[in-house]
Amino acid sequence: MGTTANRPRIEWLDIARGMGIVLVVAGHAERGLVSANIARAPVWHWFDLGLYTFHMPLFMLLAGLNVTASLQRGRRGFLQSKAWTIAWPYVLWSLVQGTLLVLLSGMTNGKGDWSALSKIGWQPISPFWFLYALMIYMVVVSFVGVRARILVPLALAGMIASHFLDGDAIGHQICYQAVFFVAGALGASRIRALPAHALLLALFAVLWCAAFVLMPHGGATPYLKPAALPAATCGIAFMLVLARIAAGSVMQPLFLRLGRASMTIYVMHILGTAGARIVLTRLHIPQQPLVYWIACTAVGLGVPLLIHEFLSRHGGLAPLGLAPRKRPALRYAPTVIRLA
């Protein structure tokens, strides 16, 4: 998620964001069905566990890629930009979703509570923990820069700390996810040069399967433990190579659109997936988990995408924190004096 202003976009990285946001929406659609006791088969548990080993770490790595270039505008400009594209959408969409959860309490899986809105400064409303953690990382790099001798020890300390934490509270997420953000920031040039080889794709698929089988599966969130790091790494690598291969293929236009709308989809998709599930239930559609999952995922992607394109045409993305603000153009061109 996120946008890059005033720099050429690398299309295959947008494709990776597009593929990643599909996985995010599919994962939350599945979790909604499990919470509603619609998806009960064990296969959904294994799908959830496998998906969560790598799909959010993928976004953390992608978020780190442009940090070095963004820091060139200086600390103040960097923080102002991130406040607008990370902190502002975090606050705005937390309030929007939190309010709707209260108003729709009894229709959704969660129980709305007005007090949750007053706690977003330290207790994010799901799924906005990602933006909360990301803003913390941005503040850190604004002060220390992209220096391996500082960031690597911090990331490793966070990974070690995650071994002793349980659940998916924000502190646990911040500790565990830091290593992926740092990897994106420090390895940006190598990641951008990743080759597109089918054999490499197959290799990472096999390695991910092996890492997933070998990692512990017990506990509430085994995918947020250091033992899940090999599976996360292989899963991320698989998705990056897949996106590289997809560039120039028939899949490119769709995933480019999704990738460039990934922030909009991220902040709105829960409303879409939950809304679709409620409508299907109220219409007494037979509760076939696969049918519900496909429908909820499609709505969670499609409706925010349409809203994104509408807002884009009418200049509504930036005010909602879904695109960077345009820098004001100079009213007068500078006078150039040439000396003969």
Is pLDDT at 2 greater than 60 in this prediction?
A: no
CB 51 within 8 A of CB 23: yes
Residue type (1 letter), 26: A
> With 80 as the cut, is the pLDDT of residue 334 above it?
no
Percent of the chain with pLDDT over 70: 91
Average pLDDT, the chain: 92
| 104, 178 Cβ separation under 8 angstroms | no
Average pLDDT on 224-240 reads 98
The residue that leads in pLDDT, 1 or 54, is 54
Which pLDDT band holds residue 114 (cuts at 50, 70, 90)? confident
Q: What is the pLDDT of residue 108?
A: 66
User: Quick check: pTM over 0.85?
Assistant: yes
Q: How far apart are CA 53 and CA 225, in angstroms?
A: 10
On the question of pLDDT at 186 being above 50, the answer is: yes
Q: For the chain, which residues make up each domain, given as ranges?
A: 11-320
Q: How confident is the model at residue 105 (pLDDT cuts 50, 70, 90)?
A: confident
Q: What is the mean pLDDT of residues 66-70?
A: 94
pLDDT at 196 over 80: yes
pLDDT surpassing 60 at residue 83? yes
Tell me: pLDDT of 6 over 60: no
Nearest to 278 by CA among 29, 22, 45, 98: 29
User: How far apart (Å, rounded) are the C-alpha atoms in residues 30 and 145?
Assistant: 38
Element (H, E) at 279: helix 262-282
Q: Which residue in this structure is represented by tokens 């696969």?
A: 290
